[in-house]
Structure 1
């Protein structure tokens, strides 16, 4: 078993939006000593968040721009980030798009847009990251699925999103099976309702209460709740956890 290097880097995709899980996670991980690379569609925002993280936590951080649905852009972003950071040990696939279109109204373009970002993007980033990880004999990959995949929707987003997020779970298990012997673990997180803007804008108190009623804790989740789960799954201590889907959903879906 290869141990972690003294200095570790994590690359996060989709981590530049002001109220998203990614930005909260970047800060949470940097606070715990991780150097951070950020890939976002908005390159200037990615670089601004990286600068903010570096200043706040005294770690190395860098940002790059890429549409994760475009493999060439993803590879170029990794190629730009890796020389600026300590050894890449972890990847967190956070880039995602919601899709509230009912199934009978889904156009081919909408279907391809959602699958392109939420599933293909996970593959492209993972494929590039694990080239480095397998060469070094150690790595952690965590990707965002959703309870929407497990329940068949029932959230803000509908079928195209659920299909993509279910694909992430199957992808995670298969890659975990193939890469375990290389010292790389691969896991997914399935969040329930989280207070971010991906569900159609800032949530009203009334909407939060309605969403919370589905779970058993009487509240919806925060980006920090998800960040804490990510921090565990990419930690050295989680080296015996792979191929799993961790639900961070307040008990909304128990399986």
Structure 2
């Protein structure tokens, strides 16, 4: 990674803040043409305050969905997501809290059902990562916390949403290119993303007879607040340069994959992972 793709920058606070990024990510492109693909659907999205989650929320709202946002504690970013979703003519419920909190997961589901009476789409997107140069530097506490956030939270929320999903519903899990290529500095993170691939494939088979589809998206290097809050200034400056396209992707380049998997356009697809990664062929 030697070519500069972004201005050098770093944020000390994790998760990062979107409004501190230079340049700010692109969440929606005017070339996108909504077609009412999700009209009347209720979509629950974790990690929706910024990054890929925000872009998915905006695209879903543009397609006519009602949006439920779950985020950790980035209130300013979440408020901007709410503003943009409501500017699309949609409505939003939003909840601050950690997806590893079983009580929070239940409250999100209960209040969504109380307000709108159903859930049609679940996007499990919340995640964290903590780079370490040496494997020995990964503590048991870090390993456990990464797994609790990235896969246990997904398990808990999915279990609580599932009783309310009807035939035709869609579950979409965010995995990563690191699940297929690995990453020497993100061993615990990559391991959780591999677990998400297995979870997606196995759950899709389990739910097939109920008419509920389960798929995943495996983004490559995407410009989100997680990046400057995770990596050094030098690493950020060359972020995405090792892809065939030679640059990082934007959230707006990933979100349409979620629209496809949430809509009837993908009615014969389950157990699959879409790879939006700048051209890397990973054969997974």
Contact 2:42 2:68 survives alignment (8 Å): yes
Q: In structure 1, what is the equivalent of residue 226 of structure 2?
A: 198
Query: Matched residue pairs, number?
Result: 246
Structure-to-structure mapping, 1:1-255, within 5 angstroms: 7-17=40-50, 20-42=51-73, 44=75, 48-49=79-80, 51-85=82-116, 87-101=118-132, 102-133=134-165, 136-154=166-184, 157-201=185-229, 207=235, 210-255=238-283
Task: Supply the distance in 2 between the matched residues of 1:188 and 1:165 (Cα, whole angstroms).
Answer: 11
Cα 1:106–1:206 change in 2 (3 A) is: closer
Cα 1:166–1:5 change in 2 (3 A) is: closer
What is the aligned-residue RMSD (CA, Å)? 2.5
- 1:242 deviates by 0.6
TM-score normalized by structure 1? 0.87
Aligned partner of residue 120 in structure 2, secondary structure: strand
Q: In structure 1, what is the equivalent of residue 23 of structure 2?
A: none
Alpha-carbon deviations, 1:4-30, whole Å to 9, x = none? 99611110001113xx11112111110
Q: Point out where structure 1 has 5 or more consecutive residues left out of the alignment.
A: none
Task: Supply the distance in 2 between the matched residues of 1:208 and 1:93 (Cα, whole angstroms).
Answer: 26
Cα 1:66–1:80 change in 2 (3 A) is: farther
Aligned partner of residue 141 in structure 1, secondary structure: strand
Aligned partner of residue 212 in structure 1, secondary structure: coil
Contact 1:193 1:220 survives alignment (8 Å): yes
Kindly indicate which of the two structures has a greater share of residues assigned to helix.
1
Task: Supply the distance in 1 between the matched residues of 2:138 and 2:43 (Cα, whole angstroms).
Answer: 35
- 1:53 deviates by 3.7
Alpha-carbon deviations, 1:227-250, whole Å to 9, x = none? 111111111111111101111101
Aligned partner of residue 11 in structure 1, secondary structure: strand
Runs ≥4 residues deviating over 3 A: 43-47, 200-213
Task: Supply the distance in 2 between the matched residues of 1:231 and 1:5 (Cα, whole angstroms).
Answer: 8
Task: Supply the distance in 2 between the matched residues of 1:204 and 1:47 (Cα, whole angstroms).
Answer: 25
Q: Point out where structure 2 has 5 or more consecutive residues left out of the alignment.
A: 1-36
